[in-house]
């Protein structure tokens, strides 16, 4: 297959493309690419791609990546000439997560980090496509001190038999698979270690605190923090993360793993107070027991991303939170229907 497009636009596959981050990535890629969005709707929503479906350069394929994907069997992709041009890029963001409903998707999480990753890599090998794997900061393990910064060379320590081991250890194994394919098949594959990201289209009422803060503040309900007043994290606005992923894809082969996230630590109680201020709400802040997927994590050392990609997050937290509130306000009627369904 040709390494570059032989027609006017390259063909790009986004696995997990109907998810929060994946849908934003698809939207940005449509500026100069044909985009094939693949998703099984385990932890995502068709609403995220409703507007994209109207674009002739976009096509959605419902498929569970636990099974091999034969793109050439889909007649709807004929206009992208996949049989002749192939695929130039594959982004793998296909892994379900749920802060509140983790038990119900435990097995899907496990297989997404092994079977699905293998099938994604095999797809890239078939078309000699450049590959970016969406990994996560959890591969470094829990932070051991406030403000701890992780470098890509740091070796994390994890309990692989913990209740969330299928995700944490699964993500580490997925990275091992990517690196093995690099050496075994000379695949141009990179690993993006994604730190906490927020913005429009995040799942609602599932423990993702930023969107729930905005909705509850608009309704005058308590804002719930799953932890105590010391709960701190880094937060990266989704447009910055999308730009980072695209830069990772465009980087020369041999980049390896690289951190993408904000290196500024913020307390969630301060975030909640800011959202209350932005909404003019009378809501109060309430603390509840921590969730498995909402725990304090370390911060990224961004030296490599600055030097190799020229990338740093640019959207200020206050501006990003303002956009999240505007999105919640603009979609309030739909959100109320979801809440009451």
For every residue of 185-250, DSSP letters joined together read H---EEEEEEPPEE-TTPPSSSS-HHHHHHHHHHHTPPEEEES-TT-EE--EEHHHHHHHHHHHHH
Task: Please give the Cα distance from 117 to 220 (Å, whole number).
Answer: 42
Q: Do 256 and 274 sit in the same domain of this protein?
A: no
Q: Is residue 311 part of a domain?
A: no
Per the rule left: phi > 0, alpha: psi between -120 and 50, beta: everything else, 261 is: left
Task: Please give the Cα distance from 228 to 152 (Å, whole number).
Answer: 29
The pLDDT of residue 175:
98
Q: Do 144 and 224 sit in the same domain of this protein?
A: no
Q: Do 333 and 241 sit in the same domain of this protein?
A: no
Instruction: State phi, psi for 69 to the nearest 5 degrees.
Output: -110, 120
Q: Is residue 303 part of a domain?
A: no
Find the catalytic residue in 167, 181, 198, 237. Answer: 167
Q: Is residue 161 part of a domain?
A: yes
Task: Please give the Cα distance from 221 to 2 (Å, whole number).
Answer: 55
Q: Do 103 and 209 sit in the same domain of this protein?
A: no
Give me 180's structure tokens.
């093995």
Q: Is residue 79 part of a domain?
A: yes
The pLDDT of residue 99:
66
Q: What domain count does the chain have?
A: 2
Task: Please give the Cα distance from 318 to 340 (Å, whole number).
Answer: 30
Q: Is residue 186 part of a domain?
A: yes
Q: Do 241 and 291 sit in the same domain of this protein?
A: no
pTM for this predicted structure: 0.94
Q: Is residue 302 part of a domain?
A: no
Q: Do 285 and 248 sit in the same domain of this protein?
A: no
Q: Do 113 and 250 sit in the same domain of this protein?
A: yes
Q: Do 127 and 255 sit in the same domain of this protein?
A: yes
- What does the angle CA 38 – CA 125 – CA 23 come to, to the nearest 5 degrees? 25
Task: Please give the Cα distance from 288 to 97 (Å, whole number).
Answer: 20
CATH code of 101's domain: 3.40.50.720
Supply the DSSP symbol for 68.
Answer: -
Q: Do 230 and 240 sit in the same domain of this protein?
A: no
The pLDDT of residue 301:
97
Which helix (H) or strand (E) is 106 found in, with range? helix 106-112
Task: Please give the Cα distance from 234 to 299 (Å, whole number).
Answer: 6
Q: Is residue 1 part of a domain?
A: no
Residue from 269, 287, 193 nearest 233 by CA: 269
CATH code of 226's domain: 3.90.25.10
- The answer to whether residues 207 and 294 touch, using CB atoms and an 8 Å cutoff, is yes
Q: Do 246 and 320 sit in the same domain of this protein?
A: no
Indicate if 167 belongs to the active site.
yes
Instruction: State phi, psi for 33 to the nearest 5 degrees.
Output: -140, 160
Last residue of a domain, one of 212, 243, 260: 260
The pLDDT of residue 24:
98
Task: Please give the Cα distance from 314 to 306 (Å, whole number).
Answer: 12
Q: Do 96 and 136 sit in the same domain of this protein?
A: yes
- Could you list the residue range(s) of the whole structural domain that residue 284 is in? 203-234+264-297+316-340
Ranges of the chain with pLDDT below 50: none
Q: Do 21 and 167 sit in the same domain of this protein?
A: yes
Q: Is residue 309 part of a domain?
A: no
CB 154: neighbour CB atoms within 10 A?
14
């Amino acid at each position: 297959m040709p390494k570059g497009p032989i027609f006017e636009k390259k063909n790009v596959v986004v696995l997990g493309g109907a998810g929060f981050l994946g849908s934003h990535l698809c939207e940005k890629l449509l500026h100069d690419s044909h985009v094939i969005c693949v998703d099984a709707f385990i932890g995502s929503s068709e609403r995220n791609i409703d507007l994209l479906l109207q674009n002739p350069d976009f096509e959605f394929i419902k498929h569970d990546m636990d099974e091999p994907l034969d793109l050439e069997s889909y007649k709807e992709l004929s206009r992208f000439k996949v049989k002749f041009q192939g695929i130039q890029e594959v982004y793998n963001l296909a892994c379900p997560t749920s802060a509140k409903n983790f038990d119900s998707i435990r097995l899907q999480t496990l297989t997404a980090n092994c079977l699905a990753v293998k099938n994604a890599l095999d797809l890239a090998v078939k078309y000699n496509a450049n590959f970016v794997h969406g990994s996560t900061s959890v591969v470094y393990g829990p932070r051991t001190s406030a403000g701890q910064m992780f470098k890509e060379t740091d070796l994390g320590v994890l309990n692989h038999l913990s209740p969330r081991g299928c995700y944490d250890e699964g993500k580490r194994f997925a990275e091992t698979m990517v690196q093995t394919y690099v050496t075994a098949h000379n695949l141009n594959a990179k690993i993006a270690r994604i730190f906490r990201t927020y913005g429009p289209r995040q799942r609602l009422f599932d423990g993702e605190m930023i969107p729930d803060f905005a909705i509850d503040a608009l309704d005058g309900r308590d804002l719930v923090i799953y932890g105590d007043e010391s709960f701190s994290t880094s937060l990266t606005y989704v447009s910055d993360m999308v730009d980072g992923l695209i830069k990772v894809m465009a980087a020369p082969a041999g980049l390896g793993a690289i951190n993408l996230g904000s290196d500024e630590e913020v307390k969630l109680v301060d975030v909640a107070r800011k959202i209350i201020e932005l909404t003019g709400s009378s809501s109060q802040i309430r603390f509840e027991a921590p969730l498995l997927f909402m725990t304090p994590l370390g911060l990224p050392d961004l030296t490599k991303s600055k030097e190799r990609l020229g990338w740093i997050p640019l959207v200020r937290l206050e501006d990003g939170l303002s956009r999240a509130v505007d999105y919640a306000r603009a979609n309030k009627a739909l959100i109320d229907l979801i809440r009451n369904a």
